[in-house]
């Protein structure tokens, strides 16, 4: 591999610069993406390996990123689980029959990746083949939701403000909460393992919605399943344990394990690293809004974050959350280049 | 005053039980409220002192709450500032000409409460008169937004996901960010002082949206103004410094001052109190979703919170955020009664 700084950072080994990739780096802020999106629905793009491959590589061709992440969606396992969903034009994902009853939970199926998400595995193989032909070959990241985040999607049926149904099940029928979480964990385990078998060299587990929970709920209702998932897939490849809005209980988040803990911009990187401990690499944590400029301010923030990491092996630069629609492409380039320029040994 | 447990807790004096009130306790979860709301718009209700008084007292008549909070909205100062807004049926507040330019910032006016919000001051006087006739007389809380939260409303023009315009001004025209925040602080100072003059016995400053900021942005762009506001109005009455989603930098939040720091459910009450220090009272911090039941689970959580407070003088029981639409009234009653029952000395 021509550029293995990302994998070195996952293992906390010294590298000649701080690696950077960006959550949702393949996406709507790029005109190359929108040109394809005009002709295909979002799910069509995910389900057509050639398109998923092309979109995965778009930001790699444009910016000097140190890792690629497969173009996919955390809801792709749903079809195989027997849960119908679609992406509506403006509202995002909608699940027509949210899983809220014991019967619905009993009916959730464990997926068979080769049958249920063959397009995703094929896309990973295509990307790997393409990347190996590129001069500055970089690793490919596969990913899934964490169990809580997938559970809350399928219980709420879409986005949520207060997570009433999710917490309703958790508090009201705790036995079936655990049954559902256990099933989802089994689903995500085979889903992630299949991505590694297809060629993914790192995995990221996204717990984007778990921040609605207080620390005790996180400990009792989410942590055991994230931990089981990460423990089951870790080893052959490094795992990034990412969540947002969990900065008040990173001491618990780290118990879910992984090689790298991803943090958002609500914490100082140095303090967060101290909390999670030297046995973890850390990923983060620029506020995505900073990418809107001005560039001088963006660079100031990048410097502050890199200074907090203090060149210690094991820092992967990233945003604290995904790139926002409308982010200026020139600023993305300025960010990637500046992280390399400022961190080079 | 027949029941001064709330004021005692604000001053960290021993009281015979832990006082409780609930953010948004006067509101849509009560059928008595909805009966009035059917006949009047939300703003009409705020602007009609007799209605605001009646609605303020509805939860006081129904539950054994230890404080009342005036029925009002944090956007009421806008009209006097020269900013037009309305509440749309589903989308909440909408400001038709968001304040985003230097010209618009220069045009923001400092309000004169007696002329611009006479209805609010009259409502406070009416509530005070009514309360003094009630057997278990309790104190009345006045309130405003914190400067950041009001600034972000008038810059975004309504609710926001990423606060692009707010942070855009902050990073892109820092001079005018500070100019706007200074003006808003002046507005809120006279607004809160007028509420005290009308009879409010405590003030709460709501920084509901400041949690979108990382710690350094909070320190540089929000904290100085919240501090100036609180310092300016504190003394004659206690001030509650409330914010949400700031649990990762409570060490900064406490620097904004006040007598009481309000915390959400993302932190453990005991750890939060240790962070802010013994010189502050603390308010919180039940997850509002817990009120949906089951009651046994609700009581378990209440116990945990009261046990973390350990009977130390200076704990005011509250939710971590406002009551959610649809909350069962019976559970509100169960909560209020149980807090008293479990905490009584």
B49-62 pLDDT per residue, tens: 999 999 999 999 99
Least confident residue range of A132-146, A204-218, A281-295, B235-249:
A132-146
**Chain B residue numbers touching A268 (CB-CB < 8 A):** 215-216
Interchain CB distance below 8 Å, B294 and A171: yes
pLDDT tier at A135 (50, 70, 90 boundaries)?
Answer: low
pLDDT, tens digit, 9 for 90 and up, residues B205-247? 999 999 999 999 999 999 999 999 999 999 999 999 999 999 9
A37 is catalytic: yes
B310: Cβ contacts below 8 Å, ≥ 6 apart: B270
**Distance (Å) from the C-alpha of residue A199 to the closest C-alpha of chain B?**
35
CA A257, A262, A267, A269 torsion: positive or negative?
A: positive
Q: Which of B171, B245, B304 sits opposite A297 (nearest CB)?
A: B171
Between the alpha carbon of residue B253 and those of residues A297, B94, B111, B113, B227, the distances in Å are 24, 28, 27, 28, 9
Sheet strands (E) in B134-234 = 140-145, 202-207
Q: Which of B248, B287, B294 is most worth mutating to test chain A (most A CB atoms within 10 A of its CB)?
A: B248
Higher pLDDT, B133 or B42: B42
Domains parsed from chain B with CATH numbers: 5-79+115-146+181-343 (3.20.20.210)
| pLDDT for position B189 | 98
pLDDT tier at A132 (50, 70, 90 boundaries)?
Answer: confident
A24 is catalytic: yes
B229 closest CA partner among B252, B269, B256: B256
**Chain B residue numbers touching A163 (CB-CB < 8 A):** 289
Q: Which residue of B has its CA nearest to A298?
A: B171
User: Does residue B151 sit in helix, strand or coil?
Assistant: helix
B90: Cβ contacts below 8 Å, ≥ 6 apart: none
pLDDT tier at B2 (50, 70, 90 boundaries)?
Answer: confident
pLDDT tier at B88 (50, 70, 90 boundaries)?
Answer: confident
B170 closest CA partner among B148, B186, B192: B148
Q: Which of A216, A248, A289 sits opposite B167 (nearest CB)?
A: A289
Q: What's the predicted TM-score (pTM) here?
A: 0.96
Tell whether the model's pLDDT for residue B324 goes beyond 90. Answer: yes
Identify the burial level of A274 via C-beta atoms within 10 angstroms of its C-beta, where 0-12 means exposed, 13-18 middle and 19 or more buried.
exposed
Q: Which of A171, A211, A289 sits opposite B162 (nearest CB)?
A: A289
| pLDDT for position B136 | 64
| pLDDT for position B239 | 98
Mean pLDDT throughout A196-220?
98
- B326 contacts chain A (CB < 8 A): yes
**Chain A residue numbers touching B268 (CB-CB < 8 A):** 215-216
Mean pLDDT throughout B294-299?
98
pLDDT, tens digit, 9 for 90 and up, residues A229-252? 999 999 999 999 999 999 999 999
B333 closest CA partner among B14, B29, B56, B37: B29
| pLDDT for position A89 | 76
Q: What distance lies between CA A103 and its chain's CA centroid? A: 30
* Residue A82, token pair as written in the block: 């027997």
| pLDDT for position B91 | 67
Tell whether the model's pLDDT for residue B253 goes beyond 70. Answer: yes
Q: What is the mean pLDDT of chain A?
A: 96
Rounded to two decimals, the ipTM of the complex is 0.95
B37 is catalytic: yes
Tell whether the model's pLDDT for residue A136 goes beyond 70. Answer: no
pLDDT, tens digit, 9 for 90 and up, residues A57-110? 999 999 999 999 999 999 999 999 999 999 887 768 899 899 999 999 999 999
| pLDDT for position B257 | 98
Mean pLDDT throughout B81-93?
86
The string of DSSP codes covering A80-137 is HHT--EEEETTTEEEESS---SHHHHHHPPPP-HHHHSHHHHHHHHHHHHHHHHSTT-
| pLDDT for position B133 | 78
B175: Cβ contacts below 8 Å, ≥ 6 apart: none
Tell whether the model's pLDDT for residue B40 goes beyond 70. Answer: yes
How many C-beta atoms lie closer than 10 Å to residue B106's C-beta?
A: 11
- B292 contacts chain A (CB < 8 A): yes
The angle at the Cα of B138, spanning B132 to B141, to the nearest 5 degrees, equals: 105
- Residues forming beta bridges with residue A144, ordered by sequence position: A205
Tell whether the model's pLDDT for residue B32 goes beyond 90. Answer: yes
Mean pLDDT throughout A278-295?
97
pLDDT, tens digit, 9 for 90 and up, residues A255-276? 999 999 999 999 999 999 999 9
Tell whether the model's pLDDT for residue B188 goes beyond 80. Answer: yes
pLDDT, tens digit, 9 for 90 and up, residues A4-44? 999 999 999 999 999 999 999 999 999 999 999 999 999 99
- B61 contacts chain A (CB < 8 A): no
B216 is catalytic: no
Mean pLDDT throughout B137-142?
95
Which residue, chain included where needed, has tokens 């996180």? Answer: A218
């Amino acid at each position: 591999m021509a550029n293995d700084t990302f994998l070195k950072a996952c293992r906390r080994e010294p590298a000649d610069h701080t690696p950077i990739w960006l959550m949702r780096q393949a996406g709507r802020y790029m005109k190359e993406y929108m040109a394809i999106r005009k002709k295909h629905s979002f799910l069509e793009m995910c389900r057509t390996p050639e398109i998923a491959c092309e979109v995965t590589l778009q930001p790699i061709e444009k910016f000097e990123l140190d890792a690629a992440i497969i173009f996919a969606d955390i809801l792709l396992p749903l079809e195989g689980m027997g849960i119908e969903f679609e992406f509506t034009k403006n509202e995002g994902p909608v699940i027509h029959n949210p899983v809220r009853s014991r019967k619905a939970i009993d009916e959730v199926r464990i997926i068979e990746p080769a049958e249920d998400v063959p397009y995703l595995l094929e896309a990973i193989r295509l990307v790997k083949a393409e990347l190996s032909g590129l001069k500055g070959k970089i690793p490919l990241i596969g990913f899934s939701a964490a169990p809580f985040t997938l559970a809350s999607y399928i219980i709420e049926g879409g986005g949520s403000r207060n997570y009433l149904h999710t917490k309703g099940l958790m508090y009201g029928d705790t036995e079936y909460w655990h049954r559902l979480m256990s099933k989802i964990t089994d689903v995500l385990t085979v889903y992630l393992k299949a991505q590694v078998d297809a060629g993914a060299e790192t995995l990221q587990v996204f717990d984007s919605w778990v921040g609605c929970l207080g620390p005790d709920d996180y400990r009792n209702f989410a942590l055991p399943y994230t931990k089981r998932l990460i423990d089951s897939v870790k080893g052959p490849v490094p795992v990034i344990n990412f969540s947002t809005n969990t900065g008040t209980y990173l001491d618990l988040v780290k118990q879910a394990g992984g090689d790298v803990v991803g943090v958002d911009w609500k914490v100082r990187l140095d303090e967060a690293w101290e909390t999670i401990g030297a046995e973890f690499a850390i990923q983060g944590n620029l506020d995505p809004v900073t990418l809107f400029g001005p560039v001088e301010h963006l660079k100031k923030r990048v410097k502050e974050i890199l200074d907090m990491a203090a060149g210690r092996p094991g820092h992967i630069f990233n945003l604290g959350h995904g790139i926002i629609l409308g982010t200026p492409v020139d600023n993305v380039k300025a960010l990637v280049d500046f992280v390399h320029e400022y961190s080079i040994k």
